[in-house]
Structure 1
Amino acid sequence: MTGIWKVFLLTLVLLLSGIGLFLSAWIVLPAPTMFLLTLAVGAPEVCPWLLGFNAIAFLLSWLWIYRPRLKYLACLASFLGLLICGLELAAIPQTQMKMSDAMVLGLGVNYLDKIPVEIRTEMRSHPFSLTDSFVGIHRNRTRHQTGIRFANPNGVPLSMEVYQPLKVGKYPALVVIYGGAWQRGNPSVNFEFNQYMALRGYTVFAINYRHAPQHRFPAQLEDVRAALDFIRIHAVEYEADVEKMVLLGRSSGAHLAMLAAYQPDALPLRAVINYYGPVNLTEGYNDPPSPDPINIRRVLEAFLGGTPQEIPQKYEIASPSHYVTRPLPPTLLVYGARDRIVQSKFGRRMYQRLLKSNTTTVYLEIPWAEHAFDAVFNGVSNQLALYYTERFLAWALYR
């Protein structure tokens, strides 16, 4: 082997070891910026891939690097990457046990017995599959309609997308609301989840809403309510059973889902599912995360039009926690312990408030997960969340 090739291979292996450790480090490091937040969200979810990457880098370092100091340096970097990934994977069994216990605590020991056998057989058989991490979660075709206009508030056209099983029928309605700090996003995001749920026998409505700061609260809540009215009026057309309706939202969409479900004059709903959503906007403003990669206070000011000191009543009525004064629809709360956008402690507080109001509620926390963890559909965290979400959903609809 020529000197040039030796230098090239040495450089390549060192680079692989460094990249593996750099990416793996974001499983445990807090992200100070939006760019790095993407790495912090994704790294825990592709942990099995990173484990393999680090293993290959370690093997190549051991075999191909002949300079002792460089060999030990590269091997150490790869070993640290392996250790970080290995610790997350090793925590999966205990985490799924805790999540299973939380489901039993919230819904009862025999909650699965209330779900029809034919529904249970269509669900995921295991909370986590290493195979799915690499090849993806299997999905087939569904019927999919886009651009369905449901409202035109102040001249702003709002549309939804509908996902339906291939077989014509009448199915429970799952209304999905996307996140994006109330400022961005569209109904097309998280399409894998919508398609997956349609395949499991749901009519899924992915709805839109007006964005801040051009349109401030309560415009977004009004849009969600308009979408729900539209779905009820056109239920037969879209083969939806509106007597079996559930709201599900992510981040700011979860906030809107809870807010719509908890209104005193809300339409009857079977349940609401909150993926890492804000619940008390005043507390969120006064106690932002550190680091704070998206500037939470600026986001809330854009959404509501001021600070809690300037408009305290608006912050109060825009907080789902404000309405927890009576039994509410069954609620599933799903948070990541490492979330630097909506801290999991707020979810835990909401869980305690819901319990005190005699609301059936389940709180699930994933120790390594960041905000928006389910953006990686076959990721480690989303597999766990999906497994328990579909069971909660079926329990709420068929009990």
Structure 2
Amino acid sequence: MSNIVFSSLGILLSIIGLCLSIWIVIPAPLYFLLPLSVGAPEVCHWLLLLNTIAFAVVFFGLSGNWLQYVALSVSILAIILSLLPLVQIYPVQQQMQLAMEKELGKDYLKPILRQESFGRSHPFSFIDAFTGIHLDKIRYTPNIEFASPDGVPLRLNVYRPPQVGQYPAIVVIHGGGWQSGSPETNSDFSRYIAARGYTVFAITYRYAPAYKFPAQLDDVRSALNFIQQHAVEYETDINRIALLGRSAGGHLAMLAAYEQNALPVRAVISYYGPSNLAKGYREPPTPDVLNVRSVLEGFLGGTPDQVPQQYTKASPINYANRPLPTTLLIHGGRDNITRIVFPRLMFQALQKAGNKAIMLEIPWAEHAFDYIFNGPSNQLALYHTERFLAWALKIKA
């Protein structure tokens, strides 16, 4: 009886392992399955462990049952799938490093690496993947109201290093399809980066469809004005500011940074942010689990044919031909919400106009990959993001 139980357990683990690992290569066909498609590549190390255990349980319990041999084959396939992101980490890191050095110079790291408190020493750590990325102590001040347009209270959270001082600022803008989200989203990043010597302002904005564009951009402007007015109180060097956003927040970060009369911004980072909204409407992803066209109509008030000026004004790519702050674009190759073709076009437009721009692609990653903070995709993105920020904001010993 014990052998039967042992064999059944192995077969069950093999099936579970494959059912989870398959999402590393298959896009989610339905919205409720999106977390599987996003998360599977980012927990591939755990899936590799599960699949290896399943294989071992079946192998050591072999009794000639044909189901066991099928389970072994299933486990081997699942092991291969769970290895796919891991075997790509080194070559992808090399490509990222070359992209950074090509735009910023091969020596851009020298003044940064002298910083004793400077972040991660390696782009990927198996230990961190399993145990989590360590977060140092910081000072945290939540729920600060910075504006109340139309009676809607807008709040931000401030993350600061533990020591009192004056620090460069990073304004973090959350995603959520311009319809949801909060300053608490991706708070691990804000905590982590604040401990590296930054004041981090995590802000919010009014949501579509109740409020159409440019209400959201106006709210980002209000936040920047608030930061400027309260720079001393929050220990901020107003001359060293970068904007960072994810998805819809990446879109707003680019627009705010690219405004000619905006508060001086040294750099902008967009994690999987849309940049050409009319083209995105006309060429939605397949499958389209988010119903991209409906989201854009709610945000801009209609289709590109109905409100063409809205789509023009709201597309960062239309501002690429002016002198702009250095831009870092980070995107997943499997992103099935904001397709990889759009940041590539944005990158090309920025470079063609003579602007500094860097494009980092993570081939196995989906949209919102960094929600799993210690996953392989975010480890790579974080490694280069903190180096980019240190370069852009001129941290000195």
TM-score (norm 2): 0.97
Match of 2:338 among 334, 338, 342: 342
For residues 150-189 of structure 1, give each alpha carbon's deviation from its aligned partner in whole angstroms, at most 9, with x where no partner exists. Answer: 0000000000000011111111000000000000110001
1:306 matches 2:332: no
> Shift in Å at residue 117 of structure 1?
1.1
Per-residue CA deviations over 1:235-272 (Å, capped at 9, x if unaligned) read 11011111100000000000000011111211111100
Q: Residue by residue, what CA displacement relative to the aligned partner does 1:105-146 show, whole Å, maximum 9, x if unpaired?
A: 111111112436126x52200000111100111112211111
RMSD: 1.2
> Given the alignment of the two structures, is residue 86 of structure 1 paired with residue 83 of structure 2, yes or no?
yes
Q: Are 1:41 and 2:38 an aligned pair?
A: yes
The alignment status of 1:285 with 2:278, answered yes or no, reads no
Distance in 2, matches of 1:248 and 1:132, equals 24
The partner residue of 1:370 within 341, 349, 366 is 366
The aligned residue for residue 190 of structure 1 is 186
Q: Shift of residue 35 of structure 1?
A: 1.7
* Distance (Å, rounded) in 2 between the aligned partners of 1:82 and 1:158: 47
User: Within 5 Å, which residues of 2 pair with 1:167-316?
Assistant: 167-316=163-312
Aligned equivalents of 1:71, 1:194: Cα separation in 2: 48
Residue number among 124, 133, 136 corresponding to 1:137 in the alignment? 133
Aligned-partner SS, 2:115:
helix
In structure 2, give the amino acid aligned to 1:148: I
Q: Within the alignment, does 1:165 sit opposite 2:156 as a pair?
A: no
Structure 1: which amino acid aligns with 2:147?
A
Query: Which segments of 5 or more consecutive residues in structure 1 lack a partner in the other structure?
Result: none
| Number of residue pairs the alignment of both structures matches | 395
How far is the alpha carbon of 1:327 from its aligned partner?
1.6
The residue type equivalent to 1:263 in the other structure is E
Which of the numbers 101, 105, 114 marks the counterpart of 1:117? 114
Superposition deviation, residue 10 in structure 1: 3.4
The letter of the residue matching 2:388 is: F
Alpha-carbon distance between aligned partners in 2 of 1:35 and 1:258, rounded to the nearest angstrom: 29
Contact 2:112 2:118 in 1 (8 A): no
Counterpart AA for 1:166: P
Aligned-partner residue type, residue 55 of structure 1: T
Task: Give the equivalent residue in structure 2 for 1:101.
Answer: 98
Alignment-derived partner of residue 28 in structure 1: 25
Whole-angstrom distance in 1 between the partners of 2:302 and 2:52: 51
Separation in 2, partners of 1:248, 1:315: 22
CA distance in 2, matches of 1:111, 1:275: 22
Quick check: 2:6–2:57 contact (8 Å CA) kept in 1? no
Query: Does residue 17 of structure 1 match 2:14?
Result: yes
8 Å contact kept, 1:276–1:371: yes
Percent of residue pairs bearing the same amino acid type: 56
Distance across 2 between alignment mates of 1:125 and 1:183: 37
Q: Structure 1: which amino acid aligns with 2:107?
A: N
Q: How do residues 64-83 of structure 1 correspond to structure 2 at under 5 angstroms?
A: 64-83=61-80
Is the Cα–Cα contact under 8 Å of residues 187 and 207 in structure 1 kept in the other structure? yes
Any gaps of 5 or more consecutive residues in structure 2? none
Equivalence for 1:52:
49
Q: Distance in 2 between matches of 1:67 and 1:267?
A: 72
- Determine the C-alpha separation between the residues in 2 that align with 1:116 and 1:368: 29
For the pair 1:324 / 2:320, whether they are aligned, the reply is yes
Check the 8 A contact 1:116/1:398 in 2, yes or no: no
- CA distance in structure 1 between the partners assigned to 2:366 and 2:31 by the alignment: 13
Letter in 1 for 2:255: L
Distance between the aligned counterparts of 2:194 and 2:261, measured in 1? 29
What CA distance in whole angstroms lies between the structure 2 residues aligned with 1:294 and 1:69? 42
Shift, 1:91, TM fit:
1.0
- 2:54 equivalent to 1:62: no
Cα distance in 1 for partners of 2:52, 2:242 equals 43
**How many Å apart are 1:36 and its aligned residue?**
1.4
Residue equivalent to 1:356: 352
Deviation at 1:6, TM superposition (A): 4.7
